[in-house]
Structure formats: structure tokens, C-alpha cells
Amino acid sequence: MTVLDSAPLDVLDAYRTCEFVTLGRDGTPIAWPTAVWRREDGKLVVTTCLAFAQKALNARRDGRVALLFSDPTGSGLDNPPQIFVGGRAECPDEIRTGPQGLEEYWRMLFERQPHSRSYLSRPVRRLTDWYYLRLVITITPEQVIVRPPAQPSVPRVPPAPADGAPLPGAAQLADYPTAVLAARDASGAPVLARTRTVPSAGGFALHLPADCAVTAGPASLLVHRHDEQLNRLSNALVRGELKPADDGWLLVPASVLEPMGSGRGTDGLRLLRRTRRATDRYLERRGLQRPRVQWDLFRPLAAPGRRS
């Protein structure tokens, strides 16, 4: 038995993505959507390419992490419960250039995200090798909370702030019926909760579940979406300060991050350039040559119908 066995594992395994939070250098909980693989020993595995290595760097500095399974898009589940997992992460400073030891993870990813198979095509390998240069984060669960299903995703038009002043992130949050708050508890560990956000004077009003005991301090709000095949990805992170309010909490926004772009036609090209530059920087800072991806070992795993 492991801590994770207290959760409905079939539901957890069916989720295509989860929200994964690490602690930034300044202590701010930073959450991003990611795919997760559950090992037979009860540990959870997340990988990240060198172009988006910050979550790995954060986990090396402070191993306290958390995951929330709350967006069932593509899972085939009807109104499933949400699952919160808090734990400790380890991330060796080792660049994986092949799938050895992670074969089932890559089979799962290729099956759930079919378009990623195209990255293996010989004509585009020079542009997509960064995607296969991975860092591995292994999480040992220490806490599990099963919550009721997320509120229905119904369109909404949020009211304008009382003072009429624009709030950073208001446009991004308005496109989503709910957001995921990443904050810290009294011990300093990161916590996550999906909630509705309502613009008000000075920030976004939030109401959190009773089992999410947050404290005031640096926090962030994550919104993201994908289609049934993990395509058409978009996400945004609103960073700010969490403060107690009369009837709940208030996130006072300070900045907005949109790593996938904001929907412009040039976002794809800009993202490709940025990922290659970020990969180069990671290698240069460590005095490393660009590793060669073991393409021939990935290709069999990407073949349709090969999932074990």
C-alpha cells in the first residue's frame, strides 16, 4: 500500500493532464499543465524538455510539489472527482536523450497526443530535437485529497471591477469558467485548488474548498485548455499576492505569463525560436554540447497500437 492507493487510481490514470506546481526562487507557487505517468510503485513521473526547464530547476532547489487532477478533457470520464496530490520531488541533473526506463510514459504520450509523432519525422528533426531532450521529475506522494467534480464549464462574462480599472490577467481569466489557484499552506508547501474568479476592486475574489488551507503570500492563477488529443494548447499564468478578504480570498495580480503565445498567427514561429534559444542556454550554462536524440528508440514507441 502507498499513499496514492487512497485515491481512485483508474480516474487518476484517465486524466490526460494535471496542474503541477513547484516553488519559484522567490517562493511563489508556479503551476503549469503537464502529463503524468503513474509507476507501479506508486510514484508519479513528470518530464520537461530543456526549453521549459524551470519546473525542474525549482524542484531541485525545493522538492515540495503538488499536483491537481481537475480537467478531464479527453479522459472519457463523466464528471469525475478531482484529485489533489502533495509530495516530494527529485530531479537529477541528467538529460535523457532516449526513452530507456520511460517506455510506457512515451507510449502513453504518443497515444494521447498523436500529433507529437510528427516530431520524429526526419525533415523536422533539427527543429524538434529540443522536445526529446528531457529532464525527469519523480514525485513521492505524501498527501492525497479527493474532491467533488469541478464545476461545470459554462461560459460566463465576468463583471467589470468596481472601480473600472483594468486588472492584469482579466482578459485571460475571462476566457475560462474556472482557474487553478497555486498558493502555500502554513508549512510553506504548495497547494492547488480549482475555483471561480470574480474581478473586484483590486483583484480577483476566490472561494476555496474547506480542505485547501492557504495562507496569505505570493500566489498565482493558472488557466489552460487542450482538445481531446492534447492539441490546440493554450495557457496563461497570473502571478500576484494572495490576501484574505471578508468572505474568502483575493488574488491581487501583478503580471501575466503566456508561454504558448496569445493567439497571434506568428505565435508558432516565435515559440519555436524561443524553445531553441532556451535549450541552448540550458546547455551553455553547464558547458555541454547539444546531445544527440536517440531517434531510432523513440520511433517504435510512436507506432499506433503499440501501447502495452
pLDDT tens sequence across 208-253: 999 999 999 999 999 999 999 999 899 999 999 999 998 899 999 9
Q: Return d(Cα 143, Cα 152) in angstroms, integer.
A: 26
Q: Using CA of residue 69, residue 73, residue 74, residue 76, what is the dihedral sign?
A: positive
Sequence-distant (6+) residues with CB within 8 A of 95 are 50, 133, 134, 135, 288, 291
Task: pLDDT band for 271, please (50, 70, 90 cuts).
Answer: confident
User: How much is the pTM?
Assistant: 0.93
The three-point CA angle 232-73-54 to 5° equals 60
CA distances from 295 to 118, 128, 185 (A): 12, 11, 43
Which amino acid type is present at position 180? V
Sequence-distant (6+) residues with CB within 8 A of 63 are 88, 89, 90
Sequence-distant (6+) residues with CB within 8 A of 258 are 172, 235, 236, 237
**Per-residue pLDDT averaged across 128-154, rounded?**
91
Q: Give 111-174 as a DSSP string.
A: HH-GGGGGGGSGGGHHHHHHHH-EEEEEEEEEEEEEEPPPPP-----PPPPTT----TTHHHHH
> In a 10 Å sphere around its CB, with 0-12 CB exposed, 13-18 middle and 19+ buried, how is residue 221 labelled?
buried
Task: pLDDT band for 260, please (50, 70, 90 cuts).
Answer: confident
Q: Return d(Cα 205, Cα 256) in angstroms, integer.
A: 17
* DSSP 3-state of 44: strand
CA distances from 113 to 44, 106, 216 (A): 19, 10, 38
User: What are the tens digits of pLDDT across the range 30-64?
Assistant: 999 999 999 999 999 999 999 999 999 999 999 99
